[in-house]
Structure formats: structure tokens, C-alpha cells
């Protein structure tokens, strides 16, 4: 194993809490953060998924890992998640807010309050509640990272993804505010906006040849991304390599968000 101690990507001594940490992008983040030396709290709704991944991480012996089952839309679960993380590792100084919801597709007239509130709970309020718990200790120690996994969809208007894009845009602005408020205290807060990535959440696109072709038309690399390619940016922002990056929304999208298609 490559010795990363003393490099810009050395995360030894850090503790990362990853929501939605057992599948897709979250799984890749959990694995790569641990590979670079961080202890990792893998949060997932299904404890079996998290426990299986934690066993694999602990067997590799770089960073330690802990599995915690939690529903991010429930405030009590989030409180218990933080308590377990701190109880095991003494702190949590990297938050990767990856878990999210995409539960409605359709015109704005069909976006009722229940849909909107549930989507906001998953895509914004969980980030806010966890940040509120973790930021005081981050600021007190003079070091912390809040990394929000957003979406390039939040950078555009949409006629059918109303609750999803709205909630992701709110979270993106929240990150900017946190960056301003806590930057001088040593905390860095950023959003990563993935483009099309081959995950379970994006499965409907990959199952629809027309939808997939439409998405790839905007890509400058001619393919979808992988979870590992998002995790790479997470690792960079989590370590010393990201110490001068703050309040940004970084598109990791194969150029999708900058290509004009006529």
C-alpha cells in the first residue's frame, strides 16, 4: 500500500462521517477516505449494507470504520448518528453529506407539500442538522470539512424535477453561507455537483436508451461517470489539497454543464 503520510491527501487522524455511505457514490467515498487514512462512520438505512462494507474496510487496515443505521429524514436518527460517531472515535471532523432523495418527477402542479417537505428533509435539512451538531467542534479545533454531494441539476431550471432541483439548490446556497461564516475558523465547506454517474439512483436513465443518449449528448467525454471519480474529488477536498477551496460548487460531470448543444 502506498504510504500517504505527509502528502496533500493524507487523512490520518481525521474522522469522516458519510451519509448514504454504503452504496454508489457514498460507498466509493467511504472506501477512498479510509484508504487515505481516515476513520470512517458509514451511515446507511440498511445496517446489513453498512456492516458488510465496514468489515471490508477494517480488513484492509488503513482507516477504521463503524457502521451506523440511520434514516436521514428523522432528526432523532441524526442525533443518534452523531452520538455514535463521537462515542466511537471522539470526534467527526469531515462530513460528507451524500444521502439524498429523488421521489417526484412531474409538473409543478403535482408537487404537493408532502413531496416537497420529504425531499427537503433528505436533501437539505439532514445536511443542516448534521452541520449544526458538528460545526462547533470543528471551529473549536480550527479544522473541519463539510462536503455536500449535490447535482448539476441544481444549476439549471427543470420542468419536471421541481422538488429535487430546488432542494439541491438550497443545500448549495447553505454551503456557501457556512463557508463564509466558518472559513476563518478553519472550516472548509464545498459542494460537489456530479453529472450523470452510474448509480442505483440514476438507474432509470440507464434503462432508457433515449434518455441516456440525451444525457450523453452534452458530455465532452462521451460516457457517464463512476462513483470513484466523485470520491476522488471528495478526498481532495477533505485533505490539505483542499485547504484553499471554500464555498465552491464544483461540477464533476465530464463537461456536461458547460457544453452548448444546438
Say yes or no to pLDDT of 54 above 70: yes
Q: Please tell me the predicted confidence (pLDDT) of residue 23.
A: 96
Cα separation, 175 vs 149, whole angstroms = 11
Cα→Cα distances 135→39, 108, 184, 236, Å: 18, 35, 13, 20
Assigned domain for 136 exists? yes
Assigned domain for 3 exists? no
Assigned domain for 45 exists? yes
Say yes or no to pLDDT of 2 above 80: no
Assigned domain for 261 exists? no
Assigned domain for 141 exists? yes
Among residues 164, 174, 244, 260, the one annotated as catalytic is 164
Per DSSP, which regions of 31-157 are E strands?
39-44, 65-69, 94-97, 144-149
Assigned domain for 262 exists? no
Assigned domain for 236 exists? yes
Assigned domain for 10 exists? no
CB 18 within 8 A of CB 29: yes
Say yes or no to pLDDT of 1 above 70: no
Whether 161 is catalytic is: no
CB 123 within 8 A of CB 101: yes
Mean pLDDT of 133-158: 97
Mean pLDDT of 182-211: 89
Mean pLDDT of 137-141: 99
* pTM (2 d.p.): 0.94
CB 154 within 8 A of CB 231: no
Domain total for the chain? 1
**Domain of 236, in residue numbers:** 15-253
pLDDT tens readout for residues 198-239? 887 777 788 888 888 888 898 999 999 999 999 999 999 999
Cα separation, 79 vs 70, whole angstroms = 10
Q: Where residue 201 sits, what CATH number does that domain have?
A: 3.40.50.720
Mean pLDDT of 32-40: 97
Amino acid at each position: 500500500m502506498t504510504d500517504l503520510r505527509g502528502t496533500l491527501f493524507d487523512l490520518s487522524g481525521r474522522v469522516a462521517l458519510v451519509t448514504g455511505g454504503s452504496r454508489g457514490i457514498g460507498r466509493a467515498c467511504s472506501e477512498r477516505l479510509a484508504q487515505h487514512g481516515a476513520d470512517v462512520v458509514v451511515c446507511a438505512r440498511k445496517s446489513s449494507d453498512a456492516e458488510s462494507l465496514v468489515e471490508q474496510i477494517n480488513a484492509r487496515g488503513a482507516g477504521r470504520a463503524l457502521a451506523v443505521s440511520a434514516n436521514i429524514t428523522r432528526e432523532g436518527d441524526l442525533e443518534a448518528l452523531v452520538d455514535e460517531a463521537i462515542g466511537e472515535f471522539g470526534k467527526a471532523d469531515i462530513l460528507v453529506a451524500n444521502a439524498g432523495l429523488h421521489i417526484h418527477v412531474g409538473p409543478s402542479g403535482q408537487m404537493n407539500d408532502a413531496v416537497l417537505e420529504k425531499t427537503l428533509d433528505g436533501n437539505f435539512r439532514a445536511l443542516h442538522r448534521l452541520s449544526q451538531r458538528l460545526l462547533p467542534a470543528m471551529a473549536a479545533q480550527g479544522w473541519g470539512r463539510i462536503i455536500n454531494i449535490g447535482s448539476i441539476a441544481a444549476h439549471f431550471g427543470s420542468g419536471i424535477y421541481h422538488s429535487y432541483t430546488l432542494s439541491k439548490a438550497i443545500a448549495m446556497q447553505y454551503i456557501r453561507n457556512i463557508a463564509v461564516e466558518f472559513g476563518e475558523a478553519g472550516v472548509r465547506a464545498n459542494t460537489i455537483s456530479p453529472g450523470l454517474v452510474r448509480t442505483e439512483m440514476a438507474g432509470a436513465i440507464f434503462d432508457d436508451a433515449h434518455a441516456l443518449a440525451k444525457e450523453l449528448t452534452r458530455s465532452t467525454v462521451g460516457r457517464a461517470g463512476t462513483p470513484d471519480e466523485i470520491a476522488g474529488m471528495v478526498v481532495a477536498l477533505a485533505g490539505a489539497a483542499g485547504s484553499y477551496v471554500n464555498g465552491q460548487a464544483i461540477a464533476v460531470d465530464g463537461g456536461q454543464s458547460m457544453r452548448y448543444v444546438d
